[in-house]
Amino acid sequence: MTAADPDVAALLARWSERGEPAMFAGTDTDEGIAAARERFAALMRETVRPASAAPEVHVDVPVPVRVHRPAERTTATLVVFAHGGGWVLGGGEVYDPVAQRLADDTGAVVVAIDYRLAPEHRFPKPLHDVLEGLAWAIDHAADWDADPARVALAGDSAGANLVAGAALARRDRHEPVVGTLLVYPPPDFEGRYASVRENGEGLFLTARDVVACSKLYLGSANPKGDIRLSPLRADLAGLGPTIVATAGLDPLRDAGAAFAGALTAAGVDARLREHPALVHGFLGFTGVVPAADEAVAALHREFAALLAA
């Protein structure tokens, strides 16, 4: 196993020393879920680089959204973003620094979808919210001087799963997006991957967390054969250029790599970007882990080139 980046190792050691529980510990009760959400928000505040600006918040719309304008506008492409958090955590102001950084680095307006969270709103409601929010953003692109015919998608973790589903839906409507950025995605609910065993303990996201958030999201739904849950199992031909970023010390590493491979096999312009010494969640570590900050900057530069192509 590759050693963790020294700053990642120091961060994980600090959390261990102060007794931080696993991210989804105790989420079998309503109180535990509320505590996990607050814990996630507190950790993000501790580790992410602060946002450069506040978003424009829309709540009286079909799905609440947070619109992030870049410091310097360089493209008319509109980016729609879905946050991570295992379909259970995150959203709202917690993810403002991540979405604003994406806007600033790419020069694009970023519309972050505040989709409903599980277990209160299980599959497929979050995906429906992303699709509805995407449609609303396209309809209102002119409000931000964006081009409704040039739409891109981005997401991390659970959000990457959701925007992968949205990319397939747009493709099926013969309206493919111009590009997609998927950061440490979970694209497959059916497969078994070695990285879950290799990286299942002590590296921020645990194997138990993966099981817990999946159960909270699915409820009684059967994931087998449902490409809305497992886009890896879909016909991927015709999707737009896609960047897939993985972390070497992430239980989801191998599934993400498999998705990039499946995209390539389907004739999609897919780019796998591996970060061997980082862990799941590194988009949120940009304030305390220089290697994470550099990785995010590089991913955003490449994504910006897709938006401008």
Mean predicted confidence (pLDDT) in 217-227: 91
Of residues 139, 137, 142, the one with CA closest to residue 154: 137
Q: Is residue 52 annotated as a catalytic residue, yes or no?
A: no
User: Considering only the top CATH level, what class is 6-308?
Assistant: alpha beta
Dump pLDDT digits (tens) for 163-176.
999 999 999 999 99
* pTM exceeds 0.85 for this model: yes
Strand order of the β-sheet with 179-183 is 56-58, 65-68, 109-113, 78-82, 151-156, 179-183, 242-247, 270-275
CA dihedral 204, 98, 102, 266 (to 10 degrees): 40
Say whether pLDDT at 12 is over 90: yes
For the chain, domain boundaries: 6-308
CA dihedral 212, 214, 215, 218 (to 10 degrees): 160
Mean predicted confidence (pLDDT) in 91-116: 98
pLDDT at 309: 78
Dump pLDDT digits (tens) for 196-211.
999 999 999 999 999 9
Point out the catalytic residue in the list 52, 157, 220, 230. Answer: 157
The answer to whether residues 182 and 108 touch, using CB atoms and an 8 Å cutoff, is no
Query: Which position has the token pair 């990285």?
Result: 195
Angle separating helix axes 290-308 and 96-106, nearest 10 degrees: 50
The 8 Å CB, 24+ separation contacts for 260-267 are 262/232, 262/236, 263/236, 263/239, 266/235, 266/236, 266/237, 266/239, 267/237
